Structure 1
Amino acid sequence: MFKPLNIIISEDEQLNFVLLQRLLQRIIKSPLNIQHAVNGQQAIEFCNQHTDLILMDIEMPIMNGFDASKILKEKFPNIPIIIQTAHCSKDHRLKAQQLGCNAFLAKPIIRKDFELLLSEFIPVAC
């Protein structure tokens, strides 16, 4: 049996969280432990050395995804962070790259693109 993957979905919109959660459950074959952070501060609080992946929205209350990603990459440089956002300008992509984020996913999320992206970071994705 596979060990559960620990994934943080940092997303303030409940519907977007549910969509991402369901997509992950359909794509990844091993058990999942998914935590829902409603802002960047919570993502930082939830993250630890056992976190396997972070899906990070940019626009959130209290602390945005860019600020949270910067702190998380300083503390846990090996944990992959995928920025997932409707704000997919060149500037946003560049900023994410400069912060050390591993990938950028534009909303609305297309399952095939999401699967391909996940396969780069999680070997059990199909």
Structure 2
Amino acid sequence: MTDSTSMPHKPLILIAEDVESNYKLLEIILKKEYDLLWAKNGREAVDYAFSAHPDAVLMDIKMPVMDGIEALKEIRRHNATLPVIMQTAYAFDTDRRIAEEAGCNGFITKPVMPRELKMYLDQYLHRDNA
């Protein structure tokens, strides 16, 4: 009989991204260190944030059904501490300001640079190693 408590726990990252190729890129970067959950729109992201209890969220700003800013605001109404890192191909200062005002913990632009993404995740998920 194996003891499941001896297996290392991989943090769960919720990726809110409507474009499959963008999700696949994030999957390649993250799958070795993290368990991943894919939401294809902002409404799914909010639902998964509450039901799956991820350790962090990567939230695209431009998505169908509910955009990333509205999804972030909805998450923040119920959870002020969940790390949410916004990602967008539209790197305007106004987008960054709006995301920060809504409560994001970080902001990265696409194409995502693996080092920058891992820096943010390490900052919020590996505090005990710092």
Same fold (TM over 0.5): yes
Residue 6 of structure 1 corresponds to which residue in structure 2?
12
How many equivalent residue pairs? 121
Larger radius of gyration: 2
Residue 107 of structure 1 corresponds to which residue in structure 2?
110
Residues 1:25 and 2:27 are matched in the alignment: no
Listed as ranges, the gaps of 5+ residues in structure 2 are 1-6
Deviation at 1:50, TM superposition (A): 2.7
Listed as ranges, the gaps of 5+ residues in structure 1 are none
- For 1:111 and 1:101, the matched residues in 2 are separated by 19
Percent of paired sites with the same residue:
32
- For 2:125 and 2:80, the matched residues in 1 are separated by 16
Deviation at 1:33, TM superposition (A): 2.9
> What's the TM-score once normalised by structure 2's chain length?
0.86
Q: Which has the higher contact order (CA 8 A, sep 6+)?
A: 1
Q: CA RMSD in A?
A: 1.7
Q: What do residues 60-113 of structure 1 show as CA deviations (whole Å, max 9, x unaligned)?
A: 111000000000011111100000111111100100110010000111111121
Q: Which amino acid aligns with 2:11?
A: L
Q: 1:42 aligns with which of 41, 44, 47?
A: 44
Residues 1:88 and 2:91 are matched in the alignment: yes
Moved over 6 A (4+): none
- For 1:111 and 1:33, the matched residues in 2 are separated by 16
Q: What do residues 5-54 of structure 1 show as CA deviations (whole Å, max 9, x unaligned)?
A: 2211000000000111111124x2xxx33111010000011113732000
